[in-house]
Amino acid sequence: MKEKIHPDYHEITVVATDGSKFTTRTTWGKAGDTMTLEIDPKSHPAWTGVHRLIDSGGQLAKFNKRFAGMGLKKGND
């Protein structure tokens, strides 16, 4: 393996939004740094697979009205 071409691989502490902590190895930051997560992997749709559509400014209702006759399912099915 060539020397001085690989990033430093070290341990950091990760703090989840619920306060739980774990140690992992990474190239992020410096040895001993703490990474604080802003998104909770236990409840975020990207990790849970549960997606909810939020209607901001009536855009979802407008879309559903416009494409109602296209044969799309309505609701959270």
> How do residues 52-77 score in pLDDT, each as one tens digit?
767 767 877 888 888 887 765 655 55
Computed over every residue of the chain, the mean pLDDT equals: 83
pLDDT score of 19 more than 80: yes
pLDDT score of 13 more than 90: yes
**What residue type is 16 in one-letter code?**
A
> How do residues 35-58 score in pLDDT, each as one tens digit?
999 888 777 777 777 777 677 678
pTM over the 0.85 mark:
no
pLDDT score of 14 more than 90: yes
Where are the extended beta strands (E) located within the chain? 10-15, 21-26, 34-36
User: Cβ neighbours of residue 61 under 8 Å, at least 6 residues apart?
Assistant: 55
